[in-house]
Amino acid sequence: MKEKKAIQSTAFSLSRVEAEGWNQAQRVMSDEALTSDEHRISMLNPHIADPERARWHVGFRNAIRAGGRR
């Protein structure tokens, strides 16, 4: 039971990290130079290790692809 709760907690936490990436993209969407520069994007990512770093990036990229739609 503890293991299942830990997995659910991790999944939820990662979904929140992805949402952080999405929200950051929303804030910088008007800066096309920034949203197309992987180095600059990585500088915005507050997470230093995977899986959080990767999920934040997924959220950021998904927001850019969606063109700002929520």
Residue type at 62 in one-letter notation: N
Check residue 32 and give its pLDDT: 80
Of all residues in the chain, the percent with pLDDT exceeding 70 is: 83
Tens-digit pLDDT profile for residues 29-39: 888 878 888 99
Check residue 9 and give its pLDDT: 67
Structural contact between residues 62 and 22, judged by C-beta atoms closer than 8 angstroms: yes
Tens-digit pLDDT profile for residues 4-21: 656 666 899 999 999 999
Structural contact between residues 28 and 35, judged by C-beta atoms closer than 8 angstroms: yes
Residue in the structure block whose two tokens are 């850019």: 64
Structural contact between residues 45 and 21, judged by C-beta atoms closer than 8 angstroms: yes
Tens-digit pLDDT profile for residues 39-66: 999 999 999 999 999 999 999 999 999 9
